[in-house]
Amino acid sequence: MAKKVVATLRTSGKEYTKVVLMKRSEKTGAYYFDETIVPIDAAQEFISKN
């Protein structure tokens, strides 16, 4: 399950976005948030892989 894009970052002509995924710990069962910065082009692919 993924949240909406939180931020858009621009550096050296390439645009990046911050992706926040909500994951569940296998050990404790608690939920946690995994934040990653990826290029905008690869954001949908990154979300679908995780």
Query: 35 is in which domain, residue-wise?
Result: 7-49
Q: Does residue 2 fall inside a structural domain?
A: no
Q: Whole-structure pTM over 0.95, yes or no? A: no
Q: Does residue 22 fall inside a structural domain?
A: yes
Task: Please give the pLDDT value at position 12.
Answer: 66
Q: How far apart are CA 46 and CA 6, in angstroms?
A: 15
Q: Does residue 21 fall inside a structural domain?
A: yes
Residue with tokens 């550096």: 11
Q: Does residue 45 fall inside a structural domain?
A: yes
Task: Please give the pLDDT value at position 43.
Answer: 85
Q: Does residue 19 fall inside a structural domain?
A: yes
Q: Which residues of 7-45 are buried (b: 16+ CB within 10 A; e: fewer)?
A: eeeeeeeeebbebeeeeeeeeeeeeeeeeeeeeeeebee
Q: Does residue 35 fall inside a structural domain?
A: yes
Structure-block tokens of residue 3: 């949240």
Taking only the tens place, the pLDDT of each residue in 12-50 is 667 888 888 899 999 999 999 989 888 888 888 888 887
Name the domain count of the chain. 1
Task: Please give the pLDDT value at position 17.
Answer: 86
